Structure 1
Amino acid sequence: MSADQYAFEDPTKKFADITPKAQYLEGAGTDEELSSSADHGEETYRGSGRLEGRKALVTGGDSGIGAAVAIAYAREGADVAISYLPEEEEDAQRIVGLVEAAGRKAVALPGDITDHDFCLDLVAKAVEGLGGLDILVNNAGKQQHVEEFLDLDDENFDETYKTNVYAMFWITKAALPHLAPGSTIINTTSIQAYQPAPMLVDYASTKAAINTFSKGLAMQLAPKGIRVNAVAPGPIWTPLQPAGGQPSDALPDVGSQTALGRWGQPAELAPAYVFLASGESSYVVGETLHVDGGMPTP
């Protein structure tokens, strides 16, 4: 394990002790159920006041990338609201505890972002609980592999788009009136937007939509002083993967196609989200920042 995110070490050997096994999780899955625990920076992320006094809403903040972002934001000085499914309460409370341990306010907001009214309520409660909002991270996502296109049913297709695209639209639209100049919006896209897997047609297409949505919205909001950017992760070890995101028997080998030859960990994504939220990225607009272990993209 690294001393912190600034440690000098061989990236091909990082997190060598985390070895995912073949596994299937029901529902959305939880961190507690993972065959090998993911690293969210719990023991390693070291803050330096880069987001002091900021107020962030992170969707999917109970586990995976969202959890790592919530931890990093808190240690950088931000108060954080997280949204998550009610079934993920145990994971969510653990992240709430870590945010509070960093001396920051945590707001837990369970619910289903495929519901339009919940999305509006989510933003309202985040603003109320935090006393404002100036960072929005649209990160929650749904990924279910389907080997044959004819087996991809309407219900699954619809839910994937509602989770990944519609919720982003609804939440962003509700948040915008609260975002002053200097605020940031960060959306999670994916390597799948560039290198779509045949078994992830619906998921990959949502990630391409997120990419274009982010760039178009960035051009509209930049003159108002609000920056929009995206992060495109590669294969990252989160509950989404064994909960139907990948075939169970493929899990031990996912990541081997990257240049680093391994899964990425949520902790490795957090610094990208911190950079895009902080003033250090003041001239970065409409960018997709790739954190994928070396998977060439256009």
Structure 2
Amino acid sequence: MTVRMDGEMQMGMGHADVSGRRVVITGAGRGLGRVLATAFDAAGARLGLVARSENALEQVAATLHGDPVVCAGDVRADEFNETVAERMLDRFGGVDVWICNAGVSPEVATVAQMKPEVWRDIIDVNLTGTFLGARAAAAVMEQGGRIIVTGSVIGDRPRRGLAAYAASKSGAHALVAALAQELGPRAITVNAVALGWFDTGMGRHWHRDEERENDIVGHTALERWGTPADLPGVYLFLASASSAYVTGTTITVDGGYSLM
């Protein structure tokens, strides 16, 4: 059987080309967000960087080759997410990719120890902020847009003391599946990247605890923590034309942690 492919499809196959794509990255001031900003900038994307701290964003922007839109604010506010979308429209004429990456995870606490306001903050940033970002993105995206959510293996394999974080990421994975169905008719894909344990951002304080570090390495097939170099590839793929038929799924990047 012969399957015909048009020129655009052929060009999209085999590599993750994001050159010229208009990409919003939330939580871009540090950790994974900063790693993604560097990778997408090097790949030729036009960026919108989002975080609470304008100073942190300016520091990231100063290291990039391009001239990103810098938006400091709170992803928990629907008006702020809409403002980010409007600024991307003003500067670049639209949004092709929106990476919902902003997230928080405080110190480990049991349910008895956790204050209700801490619970609400984690759910609001990690889950509600993701919903509001995806909502703002969908409002301005054209056919073929990409929404990418940073999830976690903790969402599917919770650990003691991380109830709020696990609930927020599990909810984010479910949100991805629902949004993929809603936005599919517009050829907008929605996917999550479930990250394992990385020596960057929120995982760093775990990495510095020898007992926890050894426990995690002992339950990871590759017997090591992830590094910044392990992070960008799947995001670049999901942001590109190569992933046009991938939606509603959670791709796990954990070195085999969830296998053991």
TM-score (norm 1): 0.75
| Distance in 2 between residues matched to 1:127 and 1:63, nearest whole Å | 25
Which runs of no fewer than 5 residues in structure 2 stay unpaired?
1-14
Residue of structure 2 equivalent to 1:89:
55
Q: Would the aligned equivalents of 1:49 and 1:77 in 2 still touch at CA under 8 Å?
A: no
Counterpart secondary structure, 2:112: helix
| Distance in 2 between residues matched to 1:201 and 1:233, nearest whole Å | 17
Q: Would the aligned equivalents of 1:227 and 1:285 in 2 still touch at CA under 8 Å?
A: yes
Deviation of 1:165 after TM superposition, in Å, equals: 0.8
Residue of structure 2 equivalent to 1:3:
none
Identical pairs, percent = 30
Deviation of 1:114 after TM superposition, in Å, equals: 2.5
Q: How does 1:126-145 map to 2 (within 5 A)?
A: 126-145=88-107
Deviation of 1:84 after TM superposition, in Å, equals: 1.1
| Distance in 2 between residues matched to 1:114 and 1:259, nearest whole Å | 36
| Distance in 2 between residues matched to 1:126 and 1:154, nearest whole Å | 35
Task: Give the residue type in structure 2 aligned to 1:93.
Answer: E
1:202 is aligned, of 157, 160, 164, to 164
- Pairwise CA RMSD: 2.2
Q: Would the aligned equivalents of 1:80 and 1:130 in 2 still touch at CA under 8 Å?
A: no
| Distance in 1 between residues matched to 2:113 and 2:121, nearest whole Å | 15
Check if 1:190 corresponds to 2:152: yes
Task: Give the residue type in structure 2 aligned to 1:84.
Answer: A
Q: How does 1:1-298 map to 2 (within 5 A)?
A: 50-86=17-53, 89-90=55-56, 92-99=57-64, 101=65, 104-242=66-204, 246=206, 249-250=209-210, 252-253=213-214, 255-256=216-217, 257-296=219-258
| Distance in 1 between residues matched to 2:172 and 2:137, nearest whole Å | 17
TM-score (norm 2): 0.86
Q: Would the aligned equivalents of 2:191 and 2:247 in 1 still touch at CA under 8 Å?
A: yes
Q: Would the aligned equivalents of 2:75 and 2:132 in 1 still touch at CA under 8 Å?
A: no
Q: Would the aligned equivalents of 2:220 and 2:258 in 1 still touch at CA under 8 Å?
A: no
Counterpart secondary structure, 1:240: helix
Which runs of no fewer than 5 residues in structure 1 stay unpaired?
1-47
Deviation of 1:166 after TM superposition, in Å, equals: 0.8
Q: Would the aligned equivalents of 1:145 and 1:246 in 2 still touch at CA under 8 Å?
A: no
- Select the structure that is richer in helix: 2
Counterpart secondary structure, 1:289: strand
| Distance in 1 between residues matched to 2:85 and 2:18, nearest whole Å | 20
Q: Which runs of 4+ in 1 moved over 3 A?
A: 245-255
